[in-house]
Amino acid sequence: MDSFSTAALLVAGFLFRTSSSHSATECYSANGEDYRGRQNQTSLRGGLPCLYWNETLQHPYNTLKFPNGERGLGPHNYCRNPDGDVGPWCYVDDHEDGVYWKYCDVPTCRMPGNLGCFMDTGDPPTLTGSSETSNRLTIERCISYCRERRYQLAGMEAGYACFCGNHLDHSLHGQSPSTECNHVCFGDHTQPCGGDGRIVIFDTRVGSCGGNYTSPSGVLYSPDYPDRYGPGRVCYWTIQVHGATAILFDFTIFDVPDWADMVELLDGYTNQVVARFDGGNPPGNTVNVTTDFAILYFYSDRTNEARGFAVRYQALKSAGGSFVGQPTEEEPEEDSSATDPESEPESDLEATTEWSNDSLSQNSNQVLYVITSTPSEVDRKVPAWTVYAMAALLTLVVIATVTKFLLHVVMRSTAYPTLEAPDTCGQNVASDPWVILYRPSTISFFKKKLKSHQGDLSPLVGH
Ligand SMILES: [Ca+2]
């Protein structure tokens, strides 16, 4: 009786906590399409105010087209990602330069395992391990490339470059606003893959098939996440938190529509199935495994792959209702600060997530607690001399391009990176000079315009 009521109290307490701690400002997707927070300007400091979605009828995304709250739109002006772009954005007042929408830098919206956007001058490189380039690069492809080489970190840059490493020197490579890592991945234009001189860095455990977790809380993703999980996957993860009385699981993303694919939670000691989910039986509430050792199992058959799942776990420790590793997410939401440009963004950043697991915890914490430098105001006024300088630069670039191309043809140079990727990453297509010289930001810029007509027609981006 006592133990039963204690357990009931614990679960009730956890549900209460999770319902408040699993805040709408957190993101578990790579591009923040699940962001439902209240930031209503493009940056917390010096950002542009967002327009209300019910007042943007001249644009493709508005409440007339999505009247029932679809994709998070409504009679508000919060940043959203309704079109599967690489991050939350919003419409802004038209500018002379034709800009009518902008990405939002939302510090709280970063999926666990995404350590942030960092500068990369290349001298020295931010991540110094193996690297490859590919015009089919995706986040998962790069992570998998680095994971197979036993690196802890994987970084994507400029949409087509992948770098691996184990250490991140913050004194050399400062963190940048997320909006500076807004280039599309060439292999999946809904994913962000860094920027010009900007590298987005991930923990290589994201999307792995299995792993061992011992920290009091964390997030596990389906294999190959954020890509679709592959066919014929059989994966086990162990979650063992010594001293815990229960481990509670909360599915924040569950896209497993196939009834033949399934996710199971098992008692780690008895191998008893505590809960089983599939396409016909998606998870509803928090799942409680009343032991300190749980196993997560995933199986997919040969057909009908999908996006997969993200599951948050939290270990429960004492009968007093206190939690192991108290989450910090329930800091004040950013709505108050979002409307106040002068407020400090640090608290929001600290509230991002506690992605702290074993060997990477120190590194991750360092990354998470760096204060994001706020973007300065840009492209407001362009002096006349800049036009001449740009023209000269353009000419030089054209000359350099032609020269490089001719050299390439004549010498059949081996200077371009070669791919030695294993079969999962084996598309040897990056040696064409135009891939290197093409600026993916151009794709990103025109993407939303094209969307309003007939979709993304960029020949460079995979469909
Ligand atoms: Ca399947």
Question: Token pair of 428, please?
Answer: 């040897």
**CA–centroid distance, residue 422 to ligand 1 (Å):** 24
**CA–centroid distance, residue 302 to ligand 1 (Å):** 6
Question: Across residues 303-327, what is the average pLDDT?
Answer: 78
Question: Across residues 73-83, what is the average pLDDT?
Answer: 98
Cα-only R_g, the chain: 23
**CA–centroid distance, residue 278 to ligand 1 (Å):** 10
What proportion of the chain, given as a percentage, has pLDDT over 90? 59
Q: How far apart (Å, rounded) are the C-alpha atoms in residues 191 and 379?
A: 25
**CA–centroid distance, residue 202 to ligand 1 (Å):** 27
Q: Are 91 and 59 in contact (CB under 8 A)?
A: yes
**CA–centroid distance, residue 93 to ligand 1 (Å):** 45
In the prediction, which pLDDT does 393 show? 76
**CA–centroid distance, residue 273 to ligand 1 (Å):** 20
Q: Where are the beta strands (DSSP E) in 150-281?
A: 153-157, 161-165, 175-176, 184-185, 188-192, 198-203, 211-213, 217-221, 234-240, 246-255, 262-267, 273-278
- Count of beta carbons in the 10 Å neighbourhood of residue 254: 19
**CA–centroid distance, residue 265 to ligand 1 (Å):** 18
**CA–centroid distance, residue 450 to ligand 1 (Å):** 33
pLDDT in tens, 424-454: 333 333 333 333 333 444 444 445 544 443 3
In the prediction, which pLDDT does 399 show? 77
Q: Are 410 and 165 in contact (CB under 8 A)?
A: no
> Which residues contact residue 127 at a Cβ distance below 8 angstroms, ignoring those fewer than 6 apart?
153, 154, 155, 163, 164, 165, 168, 199, 201
Helix (H, G, I), strand (E, B) or coil at 343: coil
Which carries the bigger pLDDT value, residue 373 or residue 191?
Answer: 191
For residue 9, what is the enclosing H or E element? helix 2-21
Q: Are 239 and 216 in contact (CB under 8 A)?
A: no
**CA–centroid distance, residue 266 to ligand 1 (Å):** 21
Please give the angle made by the CA atoms of 384, 390 and 391, to the nearest 5 degrees: 100
Is residue 377 over pLDDT 50?
A: no
**CA–centroid distance, residue 141 to ligand 1 (Å):** 20
DSSP helix, strand, coil percent of the chain (3-state; round to 5) = 25, 20, 55
**CA–centroid distance, residue 309 to ligand 1 (Å):** 13
Question: Across residues 380-409, what is the average pLDDT?
Answer: 67
DSSP 272: -
Q: How far apart (Å, rounded) are the C-alpha atoms in residues 459 and 463?
A: 9
Q: Are 327 and 218 in contact (CB under 8 A)?
A: no
**HSE-CB for 221 with a 13 A CA cutoff:** 27
Which carries the bigger pLDDT value, residue 30 or residue 405?
Answer: 30
**CA–centroid distance, residue 382 to ligand 1 (Å):** 54
In the prediction, which pLDDT does 303 show? 94
In the prediction, which pLDDT does 323 show? 53
Question: Token pair of 396, please?
Answer: 């030089």
**CA–centroid distance, residue 264 to ligand 1 (Å):** 15
In the prediction, which pLDDT does 67 show? 96
**CA–centroid distance, residue 87 to ligand 1 (Å):** 28
**CA–centroid distance, residue 199 to ligand 1 (Å):** 33
pLDDT in tens, 128-179: 999 999 999 999 999 999 999 999 999 999 999 999 999 988 778 899 999 9
**CA–centroid distance, residue 301 to ligand 1 (Å):** 4
**CA–centroid distance, residue 231 to ligand 1 (Å):** 6
Question: Across residues 357-365, what is the average pLDDT?
Answer: 35
Question: Across residues 29-51, what is the average pLDDT?
Answer: 95
**CA–centroid distance, residue 357 to ligand 1 (Å):** 30
In this structure, of 48-62, 71-85, 346-360, the range with the lowest mean pLDDT score is 346-360
**CA–centroid distance, residue 313 to ligand 1 (Å):** 25
Is residue 100 over pLDDT 60?
A: yes
**CA–centroid distance, residue 6 to ligand 1 (Å):** 40
The mean pLDDT of the chain is 77
- Count of beta carbons in the 10 Å neighbourhood of residue 243: 10
Is residue 326 over pLDDT 50?
A: no
pLDDT in tens, 238-264: 999 999 999 999 999 999 999 999 999
Cα-to-chain-centroid distance, residue 451: 22
Q: Are 264 and 281 in contact (CB under 8 A)?
A: no
In the prediction, which pLDDT does 286 show? 94
**CA–centroid distance, residue 259 to ligand 1 (Å):** 8
**CA–centroid distance, residue 244 to ligand 1 (Å):** 34
Which carries the bigger pLDDT value, residue 393 or residue 200?
Answer: 200
